[in-house]
Structure 1
Amino acid sequence: MSKTAISVDHVARIEGHGDIRLVIENGEVTSCELAVVEPARLFESMVRGRYFEEVPYIASRVCGICSSSHVVTDLRAIEQAFGVEVSDRTRALRELLVYGSYLQNHATHLFVFAAPDFLGHKSVFPLADANPELFDDALSLKALGNELCTKVGGRSIHPITAVVGGFTHEISSDEYLELAEKLEAAQPFALAAVDLFNDFDVIDVQTEGDMLAMVAPGAYPVIDSDTARFVRSGVEFDAARVDEAIEEYAVGHSAAFCARVRATGAPYMTAALARINASWSELSRTARFAAAKAGLRPPEYNPFANNVAQAVEIVDALERCAALCRRLAEPAGAAFAGSSEPAAFEVRAGRGVGFTEAPRGALFHELELDDDGRVLRASIMTPTAQNIANLEADMRQLAGKLVSAGESQEVIQLEVEKLVRAYDPCLSCSVH
């Protein structure tokens, strides 16, 4: 009897801490686990009893990269509970804020975490030495995301200007135009990044799970829809009924919850790749052309393609945000109806479910509030927690394919690690 165990303690170049455990017996993968080894952080308990105004600032600490998404998601939940309608201008600013975190996250993941895998390096430092121009351009792109978040949200992480009903501050028209010029200037590098990641060789693995993304007619939505779609099955549901569509469950080998489609018990993936599968035709013209040139068009179910999908989303975000900034620079009321000043509202008891597309995928926040606006119950469903079960299934499939091909233990380990990184997991978020 032949038995091989592959163990990776603390997978490198991902957010958070997790271990890989693979067991191969007689040419078959008999066990495949991604063990999240971080302790529970208890954010859902932490906000219980807190006044609604405090909750977005607390929830933003779930993630330093996706903090804007957590704030906006909480705000949407609170506004749903209170019956608050926000202006078109507020929606535009929230979109800018979330897209700023896309630029931060995607640039970091692609060039610091993923690129060394394909360029023969064990970390980003040899890459910086070998190709300083590429490294500097990548850091400039991330810095641009930081600046966008700072200008709109008041600081680069854990934004402070976004509040229930609107924003407490806006930058000047000249600052909007300056941002637009910087976003447009970054476009050539973003297009080159799509070509770069498309040129990397990846193994042909087709995920067997579904994919989940926000959808809306005629839009590539990230903050402004309550409709989620399982892409493969075509089943849609309202975010307010997320508990009826998605089941969270615990496993013995990991501190994180996993998730599955409640109706079928099947795992699923939520990520940039899911969004592009769901709304490819609604990408900006430049991004859609770049995606088509890279061969990325629906249906695409190779999880390694999430790297290319993130590069395409950078192109899309730069163009979309530059246009938003130019419209926001126009005289008040010319491009967007209403003001971004916080709308009036009355505190009342209620339940709300906020839903956004964070950089890593679908994000849900459920809040129940009492008559005084204090939290009775909170539930957070992060992208990585939703992805873990599907990632384990893809790891198992990939390892089995490599074992059948007679690959060495070293190759199997490397390719499985590359797959984990392609999912862009945040294991700290998964134990929120």
Structure 2
Amino acid sequence: MSDLAITALLVASLFLILGSGVWIGLTLSGVAWIGMQLFSSRPAGDAMAVTIWGSASSWTLTALPLFVWMGEILFRTRLSNDMFRGLAPWMQALPGRLLHTNVVGCTIFAAVSGSSAATVATIGKMSLPELKRRGYPDAIVVGSLAGAGTLGLLIPPSIIMIVYGVTAEVSIAQLFVAGVLPGLMLGALFSGYLGLWSLLNPGRIPPADGGLTLAGKLKESRHLIPVLLLIAAVLGSIYGGIATATEAAALGVVGALLISATQGSLTWATFRESLLGGVRLYCMIALILAGAAFLTLAMGYIGLPRHLAEWIGGLGLAPWQLLLALAGFYILLGCFLDGISMVVLTMGVILPTVQAAGIDLIWFGIFIVIVVEMAQITPPVGFNLFVLQGMTGRDIAWIARVTFPFFALMVLGCALVYWVPEIVTWLPAQMRS
């Protein structure tokens, strides 16, 4: 069979199995088994056993369940309420006032979460009822929360960065460092848009609350101390070269447990719920990673990634054209798959082409994370949209519509990262020097 026919058969098998409701990880393994059984001489069962064991026993992946557990612990504290109390007094003087608590709150929580859905759920639990009570328009509140929640993927520690780092075999610590400036840049773009929107719609922003003195603002800011200390412990240990990503994740779990205990929310029930929640989420991710590792191996035996890379190379695309095509491909894929599945499913095929084009893999990792962020708010399978639909009861089409301006800002962010690659590469270069 020709490469095109093999590819068509495997893609059809993938969508057929997915459409039947089989878990994504099992679907990937099934498609890989079909490919190896029909188009390779190596026994599929032996290859599956060796590959899945190798994937599951990777030491680098140990950071992943720890960061997931840390986010689950913090989700069950009153951290989001404390963050609102600490941030709100400082937002009153800005155009848009308390709308900025969505962006700043998501930016801060992203630095201790690693998950987009967890960031949206945690900050939304605090901001949605509070901003509605104060009279802020639902559309801009929900849209800004959906957009800013995607920062959970970009600002380290990030679950998807760990997945990409393992798949692409690049330094996870350098990926974490590379995500800081782009994450802050996107946060600034979101806040800038909120300020501009409020200046164009002054009548839709409620009046400021009674002003606090500087001493009063500083007193309220004490509620930010626990989360800032946790961020300093986790990220500072990585950037300072004191700890690896795995050791920093363990430190984060200990810090999250201390915060929970200090706030009085650490009980046997919440500890058990956080542990089981972390185990469930990690098992889902691990099954997807194992299936993707087997699929990558199968594709290698069949030779599809090499042939695809040769075909794309023969097109003579400039790097910007290749990146534009990949961005469109991932946004389209994001209509059907979650971010982690997209990365692990495609990297084995895409990376040889990206390397052949001379694109830095650390920079490409951040580019892909931003594009996957965009996919988090594209229907019908935008995870942030699902989370907000459950929290607000609104129609998913309405949520997607009010979120579109933030999608456009992420497109602008991708363009800025391409035009000024130092936004991504400068901090990792400082870390290496």
User: Which of the five TM-score ranges fits, normalised by the shorter chain?
Assistant: under 0.3
Kindly indicate which of the two structures has a greater share of residues assigned to helix. 2
Kindly indicate which of the two structures has a greater share of residues assigned to strand. 1
TM-score normalised by structure 1 residue count: 0.24
TM-score normalised by structure 2 residue count: 0.24
